[in-house]
């Protein structure tokens, strides 16, 4: 809850200082979840995922363990593309 007792829209809003920071965290989280699903669907081991995604095995391990602070949006988009998938972005007016 915020200072006046209103619930937060998401956990990211609760732990972020700004709406932009919360949005960035939410987008990174969404991409990480998608990558975990891709890896599982393709039946990749961590070693095979690392090779296909162009990263190290420890990086894949961190991804699978949800270590969000270690990943930027750009690197996650790059990994999605390396997995043969695309990312769609929609911008909406919140008014």
For residue 87, the model assigns a pLDDT of 95
**Could you tell me the residue ranges of all domains in the chain?**
11-82
Backbone angle region of 43, left / alpha / beta, with phi > 0 → left and psi within -120 to 50 → alpha:
left
The model carries a pTM of 0.84
| CB-based contacts of 38, cutoff 8 Å, min separation 6 | 80, 83, 85
pLDDT in tens, 34-86: 999 999 999 999 999 999 999 999 999 999 999 999 999 999 999 999 999 99
pLDDT for residue 5 is more than 90: no
Q: Give the CATH H-level superfamily of domain 11-82.
A: lambda repressor-like DNA-binding domains (1.10.260.40)
Work out the average pLDDT over 24-34: 94
Q: Higher pLDDT residue, 46 or 90?
A: 46
């Amino acid at each position: 809850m915020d200072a006046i007792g209103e619930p937060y829209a998401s956990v990211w809003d609760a732990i972020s200082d700004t709406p932009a920071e919360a949005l960035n965290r939410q987008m990174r989280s969404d991409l990480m979840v998608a990558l975990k699903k891709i890896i599982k669907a393709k039946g990749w081991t961590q070693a095979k995922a690392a090779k296909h995604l162009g990263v190290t095995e420890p990086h894949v391990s961190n991804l699978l363990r949800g270590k969000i602070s270690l990943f930027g949006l750009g690197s996650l988009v790059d990994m999605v593309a390396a997995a043969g998938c695309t990312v769609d972005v929609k911008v909406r007016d919140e008014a």
